[in-house]
Amino acid sequence: MKVVLLAHTPDPERVVASAAKLCYSSVGVEELNARMSDEQVQSFVALLSSYGHESPVEHVTFTFGIEGISRACSHQLVRHRIASYSQKSQRYVNEDGFDYIVPPAVAADETALKAFSAAMEAADRAYHEIEEILLAHHKEALMAGGLSAEAAEKKAKKIAIEDARFVLPNACETKIVMTMNVRSLLGFFRQRCCQRAQWEIRDVADEMLRLCKEAAPTLFAKAGPPCVNGPCPEGGMSCGKAKEMRAKYRPESKESEA
């Protein structure tokens, strides 16, 4: 799995502070911005966070490149709706000999891994076989319609993999570019950094949060699962590891010692 921070709003914390202060000021945003020192920006952003005032952080976006994840993971990612996504297409990209993601629990068990690998190999064989069969049918039909052999084969390949992809597994590796504003990211981290989240998307979320904290430490100072800032909302389904989670996500907080 690989997560890269491709871009973010320049000077994100100053943008948030300027937007928030504008709501309570009679002067323009340029003057407000000029008046604030870096220390004042950080102090005001921290104050906003303590109030739970999140609407100003919507003005800041972060764009991530995510590779080496499964389709099962990307299906979970795109459920977060206030975001933009661009994903590798199985309609236009041939998946012969596709890479796939092996869950750690499967990799740790020799028998499970053998069965898993056999299933991936069978899916790859079926994909290739279906592609070849459909390619021949579509090429013949396209040539009968007047296309040259070369043009017919090129078009037929695209049409063939549209249907061959139906046998590809959730484990199939994919790549995706994702853009979220900070408010959406904070909600994403609350859900996906939680120990009850699926292991793969939790790994993605943890790496995204690490990169966000490097770029805007004050904005993301309290980011993480809900238990790092208060009681666990999961009730009887709680993992029971609130102390460990606070130590992991907010090691500077005295709460992590409680």
Annotated catalytic residues are 192
Query: Which two structure tokens, joined as six digits, stand for 50?
Result: 């303590």
